[in-house]
Amino acid sequence: MTATSPARIESLEPHQVFVFGSNAEGAHAGGAARLAHERFGAVWGQSSGLQGQSYGIDTMSGLATLESEAHAFLAFAAEHPRLEFLVTELGCGIAGHAPEQVAPMLRGAPANVLLPERFIAVLARESA
């Protein structure tokens, strides 16, 4: 069973990284992106990758881009096993995607990646 990312993330331990959905411009004006910018070091103008204590994934440029960036994120997480990645419901807010569309992109996540409860439920149903 995969550990679950907290439903609401207000603060981070030094080894934790907040994983949020961004847009191609890196304009972190709303939702989890705004929180990442205000609290966890997300860089205005940087859409993807590690930024302070956060990691952006472009969720606004279509599902193909989201999938590509999700795979790059999983590779990054696997290369950094001492970090713990707290994943938000990527793409399920402003981007308008359903957990059933996004969760499979994170299948096989390493143990240091904590997924939201609804993503875990989708993956569990698919493997049943």
Q: How confident is the model at residue 127 (pLDDT cuts 50, 70, 90)?
A: confident
Q: Average pLDDT of 28-55?
A: 95
Distance, in Å, from the CA atom of 79 to the CA atom of 50, rounded to the nearest integer, reads 13
pLDDT at 20 over 90: yes
Torsion angle, CA of 4/87/40/111, rounded to 10 degrees?
70
Write down the domain spans for the chain: 16-127
Q: How confident is the model at residue 123 (pLDDT cuts 50, 70, 90)?
A: very high
Q: Average pLDDT of 67-94?
A: 96
- The CATH number assigned to the domain with range 16-127 reads 3.40.220.10
pLDDT at 41 over 90: yes
Which amino acid is located at 10 in the chain? E
The helix (H) or strand (E) run that includes residue 102 is helix 99-102
Q: How confident is the model at residue 1 (pLDDT cuts 50, 70, 90)?
A: very low
CB 17 within 8 A of CB 37: no
